[in-house]
């Protein structure tokens, strides 16, 4: 069993629980989208855990970003993180960002080239191609209620 700890060091605050967890490609770390409490909007954290030692590293995220899922790039340094942005009362558009796990820097990918229809975004996911050059993600243009699959090329600088 892996203990995710609490929102603050020293066992203070609410306990964390996992929304999503993914092994790094080399099998040495876990990336975890963690939530604290069950109130809305959810307070979430991005954690990197070395499961054999229990070492937990939190990667700071934008305050208005509410995490839901994570996915490692094939090379193991970068993560796609998925969730929503709290931009106003009752407004939570989907968001995908790229996180460099070495520098802890975030970059919005702005994959939504057209307005996104309002509504719930459960099941919002994306996936890297095996070579790390593309991502596949669900998208939904405002003109329709149908979800579609979209592809985007990804180029990550070193």
Q: pLDDT tens digits, residue range 81-104?
A: 988 888 877 777 778 889 999 999
Q: Does pLDDT of 141 surpass 80?
A: no
Residue 93 Cα to chain centre, angstroms: 14
Q: What is the pLDDT of residues 20-78, one digit of tens each?
A: 999 999 999 999 999 886 665 568 899 999 988 989 999 999 888 888 889 999 989 99
Q: Supply the pLDDT for residue 83.
A: 85
- What distance in Å separates the CA atoms of residue 158 and residue 104, rounded to the nearest whole number? 13
Q: Give 14 or 157, the one with higher predicted confidence.
A: 14
Q: How many CB atoms lie within 10 A of CB 116?
A: 14
Beta bridge partners of 63: none
pTM more than 0.95:
no
Q: How confident is the model at residue 143 (pLDDT cuts 50, 70, 90)?
A: low
Q: How many CB atoms lie within 10 A of CB 13?
A: 14
- What distance in Å separates the CA atoms of residue 94 and residue 82, rounded to the nearest whole number? 8
H-helix or E-strand spanning residue 120: none
């Amino acid at each position: 069993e892996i203990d995710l700890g609490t929102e603050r060091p020293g066992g203070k605050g609410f306990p964390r629980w996992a929304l999503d967890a993914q092994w790094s490609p080399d099998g040495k770390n876990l990336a975890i989208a963690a939530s604290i409490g069950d109130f809305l909007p959810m307070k979430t954290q991005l954690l990197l855990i070395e499961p054999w030692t229990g070492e937990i590293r939190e990667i700071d995220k934008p305050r208005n970003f509410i995490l839901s899922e994570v996915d490692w790039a094939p090379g193991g340094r970068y993560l796609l993180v998925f969730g929503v942005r709290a931009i106003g009362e009752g407004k939570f558009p989907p968001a995908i960002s790229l996180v460099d796990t070495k520098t802890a820097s975030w970059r919005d990918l702005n994959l939504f080239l057209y307005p996104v229809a309002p509504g719930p975004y459960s099941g919002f996911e994306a996936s890297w191609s095996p070579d790390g050059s593309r991502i596949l993600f669900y998208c939904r243009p405002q003109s329709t209620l149908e979800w579609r699959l979209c592809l985007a090329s990804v180029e990550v600088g070193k």
